[in-house]
Amino acid sequence: METMQLGNEVNTTIYTDASLELVGELLGGRRAVLIVDAEVYPRFKERLPKTLVYSVTPGEHSKSMRQAAEVYRWLQNNGIDRDTVLVGIGGGVITDLTGFVAATYLRGVSLILVPTTLLAQVDASIGGKNAVNLDGFKNIIGTIYQPEAIVCDYSVLASLPIEEIRGGVAEMIKHCMISDREQFDYFAAHAEEILSLRREALQTIIPWSIRIKKEFIEADVFDRSIRRTLNFGHTWGHAVEAVTGLHHGYAVAIGMCFATRLAVHKGLCSPDVLNALEGLLTRFGLPTGTKTLPWVIFEAMKRDKKRSAGNIHFILPRSIGKTEIVDIALDELKAFIKEG
Ligand SMILES: NC(=O)c1ccc[n+]([C@@H]2O[C@H](COP(=O)([O-])OP(=O)(O)OC[C@H]3O[C@@H](n4cnc5c(N)ncnc54)[C@H](O)[C@@H]3O)[C@@H](O)[C@H]2O)c1
Ligand SMILES: [Zn+2]
């Protein structure tokens, strides 16, 4: 169990290695509505409180203003007031959507998150950021709003497709790269156990990964400086995702390799770091590059929101476990791509 206090008066308790039945206990007789992934809910229905349910069609397209508005209307039609707890059950799409709705409906109602993907357990549900997409731009409307509890039941991960497991692992490898050499080595030594979701392995890596994300957030709740480190692999990765449609985690894996190559090129880290990262990603069946032309990705990246006045923030590794935020001029990046 982890707790975090992140500035908006709510103390979030993160229950790791918990069971779904805990949700009912945490509600303790309060009125609740479940906002669920329509594919996921039927699997776990019996273990969840019997109450009103709003089912959301899975997929990124459900993270929209239109979908949020539909949920608001449904809440209103069902007479949901400020004393009701919204419980979001699903992957990052559902935790983001439910977080956004809970933050804005009646100016804020209580929220519990039940992340059901590896990515949502170690990343999307942690930190209070929520968002919906608008006109093809990802995550541009949202708030920072903390849930009162996050319930991580590892057993629900068993039905995840392998791609979703690998995608979650990519974000955890990111956590290793930005903070912890020892954990990097643990991943290298336990790849099989992790991919097959062996419980002892999950008991090690999930709470650890949550703690790393939590530490970066606590150091910078409003995302002005050090929290950006969590974007390692994402500057290039988001563009790869936009252009290729690859799974987010796969795109982040490619983005981490790109940033590390750039760091080697700038003399910030040794080629050994790149070799170790590529080796680890490969072990988990994650990609280290893409066949798409780098110029196409470059153009997509320029359109991304993180650009500021001709420079792009990159998180570049110095070694495994240590990174630096570096402003790279677009011209420098162009030259690097041309050479490579
Ligand atoms: N708020 C944040 O800080 C943050 C951080 C990272 C990612 N995100 C967001 O998270 C989203 C991605 O999250 P995701 O990868 O969890 O995607 P997702 O919610 O789309 O889930 C992926 C797929 O897995 C299925 N699924 C979920 N749980 C399952 C289970 N237990 N068994 C079988 N299938 C299951 C879903 O139906 C879906 O098809 C993106 O929208 C991203 O922007 C947010
Ligand atoms: Zn990510």
8 in the same domain as 142? yes
Dmax over CA atoms of the chain, in Å, equals 63
155 in the same domain as 9? yes
pLDDT of res. 181: 93
pLDDT of res. 223: 73
209 in the same domain as 173? yes
Asked whether 150 and 4 are in contact (CB, 8 A), the reply is: no
The CATH number that applies at residue 184 is 1.20.1090.10
pLDDT of res. 225: 81
pLDDT of res. 340: 76
- Give yes or no for residue 93 CB within 6 A of ligand 1: yes
325 in the same domain as 187? yes
Ligand 2 centroid to 134 CA: how many Å? 18
Q: In the structure, what pLDDT confidence band is assigned to residue 251 with cuts at 50, 70 and 90?
A: very high
173 in the same domain as 149? no
Q: In the structure, what pLDDT confidence band is assigned to residue 308 with cuts at 50, 70 and 90?
A: low
- Stretch 254-259: mean pLDDT, rounded? 98
Domain that holds residue 248: 167-339
Q: From edge to edge, which strands make up the β-sheet containing 2-5? A: 2-5, 11-15, 149-151, 110-115, 85-90, 32-37, 52-56
Per-residue pLDDT at 56 exceeds 80: yes
Read off the pLDDT of residues 67-118 as tens digits, 9 standing for 90 and up. 999 999 999 999 999 999 999 999 999 999 999 999 999 999 999 999 999 9
124 in the same domain as 239? no
Tell me how far the alpha carbon of residue 122 is from its chain's centroid: 7
- pTM for the whole structure: 0.94
Tokens 């893409």, residue?
290
Per-residue pLDDT at 326 exceeds 80: yes
155 in the same domain as 11? yes
- Give yes or no for residue 241 CB within 6 A of ligand 1: no
Please choose from 159, 164, 230 the residue to mutate so as to test ligand 1's pocket, defined by most ligand atoms within 8 A of CB.
164
187 in the same domain as 297? yes
152 in the same domain as 224? no
More confident residue, 116 or 219: 116
151 in the same domain as 174? no
Read off the pLDDT of residues 36-45 as tens digits, 9 standing for 90 and up. 999 999 999 9
172 in the same domain as 72? no
Count the domains in the chain: 2
Which residue puts its alpha carbon closest to atom 16 of ligand 1? 91
For the four alpha carbons of 37, 39, 43 and 49, in that order, the dihedral sign comes to positive
The CATH number that applies at residue 103 is 3.40.50.1970
Asked whether 30 and 224 are in contact (CB, 8 A), the reply is: no
Nearest ligand (C-alpha, residue 142) = 1
Per-residue pLDDT at 20 exceeds 80: yes
pLDDT of res. 311: 86
155 in the same domain as 176? no
- Stretch 176-183: mean pLDDT, rounded? 95
- Give yes or no for residue 117 CB within 6 A of ligand 1: yes
More confident residue, 292 or 3: 292
Structure tokens at 173: 């490898």
